[in-house]
Amino acid sequence: MRTDALLVCASLACLTALPAAPARAEEDPAPPVALRAVSPDGSVLGPCPLEHTDVRVEISGYVARTRVTHRFANPYDEPIEALYTFPLPEGAAVRDMEMQVGERLVRAEIRRRQAAREEYEAARRSGQTASLLDQERPNIFTTSVANVRPGVPIRVTLEYVETLPYEDGVRRLVFPMTVGPRYVPGTPTGHAGPGWSPDTTRVPDASRITPPTAPPRRSGHDIAVAIDLDAGVEMGPPRSPTHDVHVRRIDARRAHVELAQHDRVPNRDLVLEWPVSPERIASGVLAHRPDEDTDGYLTLLLQPNASPPPAEITPKEIVFVMDTSGSMNGPPMAHSRALMGRLIRDLHPQDSFAVLRYDTATSALSPLPLENTPANRRRALAFIDGLEGSGGTDALAGLRAAFAYPRDPSKLRIVVFLTDGYIGNEREILDEIQRRIGAARLFSFGVGSSVNRYLLEEMAREGRGDAAIVTLRDAPEEQVTAFYKRLQSPYLTDIEVDWGGLAVDRRFPERIPDLFAGQPLEVHARYRRAGRGTVRVRGRLAGRPFEQTLEVELPAVEEQNAAVASIWARERIAEVERSMHGGTDEAREEELVQVALDHRLMSRLTSFVAVEHRVVAAEDAREPGRTVTVPVEMPEGVNPRTAFGSSLSLARFQPGDPELRVEAPATARAVTALFPFGETKALRWEPRLGRWTTRFLVPRGTPEGNYAITILIHLADGTQERLERPYTVDASGPEVELDALDPVRAGATVRLRARQRFTAADRALHRGRRVTILSDVARLRVTTDGGERVALRLVEPGVWEGELAVPEDARGELELRVTAHDVAGNRGETTVTLPVAARAEDPARVARSEAQVDATGLGEGAP
């Protein structure tokens, strides 16, 4: 069978296997081969060497101390370097690391980042086993382990402490397990790290925060989690809404929790919750001061002791800003729709609202906020129902649109930001909020298995709001209810702390956010002298003055509660980071480094390094050990196909006989393509093209799916290069949904809009891949039963529009046949029935409507 090789050749321009050719980050990032880790130059490095992760957590009250151990093994017959990018809680203060090689235990040292890297590289070159822990983001870390010997496992253990949030009577532990794929805006500038994305002008370290992903259940490593929980007070039964866990109660305050054996694939965050009655939360101060000559640190915990009075509700103007990027497609979008639907339905009569959506463009339901009327609610709900995830994530544009949106000064503006946070330019977003939040509040609502909690919580912090995370396994109703209660009206606002003359400074948070019912106040500070005093917490409780006092003693020496110092240092480092607004400031960076070194903490500018002083790889100096980047699981529920925007896959075709072109020197001895099932093709040099080419057969019976061609280039000097080029075989027709944008009236022209609906077959085809196909529909045609035909045109990724003349004699219903062809030539067909308004003056029901709003021009027409 000879397909149209011309089209296939043109479509397969990407099959030109180029060694490390840069591309725009938004388009076709080099996808991994399923199950294998891929180096930045596209060569396959091998299987995942991370065998197991062991997590031990000790919880004492509201502080958790966690030890995470990664066990690496080398499946090759020569030493390798392992690179593993993984998440930790964004508030984690990472304060220790050790490396065990066989029986030898090496404790890591904290160094300036550059110095740690140099020490590590020197050890690697000299054949020593070494490990390096770098922080890429406050919640993303990379472990590098050099010279992992065959047959000798290496364990790298790190330790961190954090405080655990408490709200609505529940204290919660969250352990993140995988790094979600990130949309990386900007123009590529290079590729310094092992990740799939190049570094860009807007995300300079993108290559270090985008680890390769593996198909679910196929990365080859699992995780064990054991938690010793001491709530400090009587608690209810611990439970996990995300995983199956075994809980063994020791007494009313303590329990031991373990992850169930069958639920150990690290593809979604682990959440553990345990109820603690607010009355049992004691107010007080925890202090630590190792000796009289050093600084002391404290954590103030205060539980408001007043019950909320009957509601005195301030009218609110809620602006919903919904992420409709590709990574939201599927369950995250469904959850977001459910949340918004619930919020809209439960608005107070005097509230007003607006709905904005964004991916790489923004638009709004209406140019002005809508009053809370049944008709407007229906309109909003219909709008929300029509939203689909597609495109990249330009959250900054969404934020700017929200801040620029016309407002009613008589109402409290609350921005509700719904997203999964799979973006890389967090700094820009947080700076924008800091600059423009004004008197408004911002609440962030995260949906997904591994949302960017750091970003969401920082957004809420900057916006003096709150953050809520809904995993895909949560029943959204519960989360929505809790979230909406906070949204209704903050409980304790404008909070200030009077330290009563105590020698306390460097307090965090500097700007204390509003508290909600049942939520305790938590402040971390440093103290220089011992002392005793009365601490007063003042604020407004439902609009009325509030004050609560606490007698506090700051000890001269207190060796317990060392975690308090680490937590303070972590807050201090975060505060210094924020003060730099994403830029550089030598003095502040030096201050940050000093805090981190003094407290032995990981930071952006400090790293842990451990070196075993014994050489392991003396042979083959010409061939240093290969580097293997460990792939991470794609978070549950994320459709890898739509996670990254609107680029079309260029290696997708029906069974047939496409052409392969390879860039290699004309003097190469041989260029060979190895196809699945072992077929080998010798490529030949074509001087006019300047390429090595061959064409190959994709047999008819080839199952749909992703395949890879291995290309061996034997150069004239005897060296050999290896490249991998994936391709996709697709034999399923696309499915589309069609709507009318105008009333359908006989004799009128109606605008039609169609969107591709991704099917289970589409998702299966791209499971495990990061290259996404927003829309692969190449042609779309609508035909009436009377034979009227119109071809729709592509107006934006995944959206097609056209105009159809409705027959004069159309009555009752208009049946339309929608035929779609994808880029591989598959055809799909569906029938849509639209109601026809009998007379022109009849108000026909509008299926969808949407107003395009320019984000910079929203100020016009403000009330």
Partner 1 sequence: MSEAALWLAVASVLTGTGDVRAVLPVEGGAWVGTTGGLVRLEGERERVLGTREGLPHGSVRALLREGDGIVAGTDGGVAWLDGRSGAVRATRRTAAPVHALVRHEGALFVGTGAGLFRVHGDIADGPRGALERVGEVERVQALASTTHGLFVGTAGEHLHLWQGGRWRRLWGPRFVWAMEVEGDTVWLATADGLRRYEGARRVRTAAERTLPEALPVRDLRAVRRVGESLIVGSWGGGVHRWDGDRWVAAPEAGERVQAMAVRGGEVFVGTPEGLRRIGGDGAVARVGGGLPSNDLSALARTGEGLWIGTFDRGLALRRPDGSLELFDEARGLLDDRVNRLAVDAEGDLWVATDRGLVERVGGRFRLRGFLDEHVFFVAAVGEAVVAAAEGKLWRWEGERWAPFDAVPGARPQDAAPMGRSLVVGSAEGLALDTGRGWLHLTAEDGLPDEWVTAVAVWRGELLVGTYNGGLARLGAEGVELLAPGVWVNAGALVSVGSEDGAYVALGSLGEGLWLLDGDELQRLGVTEGLPDEDVTALLPDGEGGLWAATRGGLAHLTPP
Q: State which H helix or E strand residue 378 sits in.
A: helix 374-385
Provide the minimum distance between the beta carbon of 215 and partner 1 in the complex, in angstroms, as a whole number. 16
Beta bridge partners of 739: 753
Cβ proximity to partner 1: between 41 and 829 the closer is 829
| Binding-residue pattern over the window 633 to 672 for partner 1, x denoting contact by CB under 8 A | ---------------------x--x-x---------xx-x
Residue 643 near residue 423, CB atoms below 8 Å: no
Size of the site for partner 1 (CB under 8 A): 51
695 binds partner 1 (CB under 8 A): yes
Residue type, 129: T
Provide the minimum distance between the beta carbon of 6 and partner 1 in the complex, in angstroms, as a whole number. 4
680 binds partner 1 (CB under 8 A): yes
Cβ proximity to partner 1: between 11 and 66 the closer is 11
Choosing from 697, 741, 790, 862, the residue that interacts with partner 1 (CB under 8 A) is 697
Segment near partner 1 (CB under 8 A), from 272-280, 298-306, 687-695, 845-853?
Answer: 687-695
Tokens of 625: 């050990």
Choosing from 435, 789, 793, 811, the residue that interacts with partner 1 (CB under 8 A) is 789
Choosing from 52, 256, 473, 714, the residue that interacts with partner 1 (CB under 8 A) is 714
626 binds partner 1 (CB under 8 A): no
Residue with tokens 């030598």: 586
Provide the minimum distance between the beta carbon of 1 and partner 1 in the complex, in angstroms, as a whole number. 4
CA distances from 838 to 57, 257, 809, 817, 842 (A): 68, 66, 9, 21, 7
Cβ proximity to partner 1: between 74 and 728 the closer is 74
Residue 629 near residue 642, CB atoms below 8 Å: no
Cβ proximity to partner 1: between 9 and 396 the closer is 9
Provide the minimum distance between the beta carbon of 577 and partner 1 in the complex, in angstroms, as a whole number. 43
Considering only residues 350 to 379 of the shown chain, the ones binding partner 1 according to CB under 8 A are: none
Question: In a 10 Å sphere around its CB, with 0-12 CB exposed, 13-18 middle and 19+ buried, how is residue 786 labelled?
Answer: exposed
Minimal CA–CA distance to 72: which of 146, 158, 177? 146
Torsion, Cα 823 824 825 827, to 10 degrees, reads: -90
Considering only residues 125 to 144 of the shown chain, the ones binding partner 1 according to CB under 8 A are: none
Distance CA 413, CA 404 (A): 12
Segment near partner 1 (CB under 8 A), from 368-376, 435-443, 491-499, 815-823?
Answer: 815-823
Cβ proximity to partner 1: between 718 and 812 the closer is 718
718 binds partner 1 (CB under 8 A): yes
Distance CA 742, CA 843 (A): 11
Distance CA 484, CA 445 (A): 11
Cβ proximity to partner 1: between 481 and 831 the closer is 831
Considering only residues 3 to 42 of the shown chain, the ones binding partner 1 according to CB under 8 A are: 3-7, 9
**CA atoms in the 13 A half-sphere facing the CB of 769:** 26
Tokens of 35: 């199950």
Cβ proximity to partner 1: between 125 and 789 the closer is 789
Say what angle helices 562-579 and 586-599 make with each other, to 10 degrees. 170
Distance CA 123, CA 106 (A): 14
Residue 373 near residue 163, CB atoms below 8 Å: no
Cβ proximity to partner 1: between 578 and 779 the closer is 779
Choosing from 209, 456, 567, 712, the residue that interacts with partner 1 (CB under 8 A) is 712
DSSP letters along 545-597, please? EEEEEEEEEE-S-B-S-HHHHHHHHHHHHHHHHHHTTTS--HHHHHHHHHHHH
Provide the minimum distance between the beta carbon of 734 and partner 1 in the complex, in angstroms, as a whole number. 14
Q: How many helices (H) and strands (E) does the chain have?
A: 11, 53
533 binds partner 1 (CB under 8 A): no
Choosing from 676, 705, 807, 835, the residue that interacts with partner 1 (CB under 8 A) is 676
Choosing from 744, 825, 837, 858, the residue that interacts with partner 1 (CB under 8 A) is 825
Residue 321 near residue 853, CB atoms below 8 Å: no
Cβ proximity to partner 1: between 348 and 695 the closer is 695
Phi, psi of 335 (to 5 degrees): -65, -40
Cβ proximity to partner 1: between 282 and 670 the closer is 670
Cβ proximity to partner 1: between 157 and 654 the closer is 654
Residue type, 150: P
710 binds partner 1 (CB under 8 A): yes
Q: State which H helix or E strand residue 831 sits in.
A: strand 827-835
**CA atoms in the 13 A half-sphere facing the CB of 467:** 20
Choosing from 583, 701, 812, 861, the residue that interacts with partner 1 (CB under 8 A) is 701
Distance CA 49, CA 717 (A): 32
Provide the minimum distance between the beta carbon of 786 and partner 1 in the complex, in angstroms, as a whole number. 12
Choosing from 18, 482, 674, 748, the residue that interacts with partner 1 (CB under 8 A) is 674
Phi, psi of 447 (to 5 degrees): -130, 125
Q: Measure the CA angle with vertex 601, ends 598 and 605; round to 5°.
A: 95
Segment near partner 1 (CB under 8 A), from 301-309, 634-642, 706-714, 803-811?
Answer: 706-714
Choosing from 196, 819, 834, 837, the residue that interacts with partner 1 (CB under 8 A) is 819
Cβ proximity to partner 1: between 620 and 842 the closer is 620
Cβ proximity to partner 1: between 718 and 843 the closer is 718
Choosing from 293, 307, 677, 839, the residue that interacts with partner 1 (CB under 8 A) is 677
Residue 211 near residue 224, CB atoms below 8 Å: no
Minimal CA–CA distance to 567: which of 175, 89, 90, 163? 163
Provide the minimum distance between the beta carbon of 77 and partner 1 in the complex, in angstroms, as a whole number. 5
Residue 806 near residue 745, CB atoms below 8 Å: yes
688 binds partner 1 (CB under 8 A): yes
Considering only residues 278 to 317 of the shown chain, the ones binding partner 1 according to CB under 8 A are: none
Residue type, 587: A
Exposed e or buried b per residue across 448-482, where buried means at least 16 C-beta atoms within 10 angstroms of its C-beta = bbbbbbbbbbbbbbbbbbbbbbbbbebebeebbeb
Provide the minimum distance between the beta carbon of 198 and partner 1 in the complex, in angstroms, as a whole number. 26
Distance CA 857, CA 362 (A): 12
Segment near partner 1 (CB under 8 A), from 267-275, 556-564, 609-617, 683-691?
Answer: 683-691
Provide the minimum distance between the beta carbon of 317 and partner 1 in the complex, in angstroms, as a whole number. 50
687 binds partner 1 (CB under 8 A): no
Provide the minimum distance between the beta carbon of 4 and partner 1 in the complex, in angstroms, as a whole number. 4
Choosing from 54, 58, 371, 829, the residue that interacts with partner 1 (CB under 8 A) is 829
Residue 154 near residue 131, CB atoms below 8 Å: yes
Residue 332 near residue 448, CB atoms below 8 Å: yes
694 binds partner 1 (CB under 8 A): yes
Provide the minimum distance between the beta carbon of 784 and partner 1 in the complex, in angstroms, as a whole number. 10
Provide the minimum distance between the beta carbon of 683 and partner 1 in the complex, in angstroms, as a whole number. 10
Segment near partner 1 (CB under 8 A), from 300-308, 375-383, 575-583, 825-833?
Answer: 825-833
Distance CA 108, CA 612 (A): 10
Considering only residues 44 to 83 of the shown chain, the ones binding partner 1 according to CB under 8 A are: 44, 46-47, 75-77
Minimal CA–CA distance to 49: which of 169, 179, 152, 134? 152
682 binds partner 1 (CB under 8 A): yes
Q: In the complex, which residues of this chain contact partner 1 (CB under 8 A)?
A: 1-7, 9, 44, 46-47, 75-77, 654, 657, 659, 669-670, 672, 674, 676-678, 680, 682, 686, 688-689, 694-695, 697, 699-701, 708, 710, 712, 714, 718-720, 779, 783, 789, 817, 819, 821, 825, 827, 829
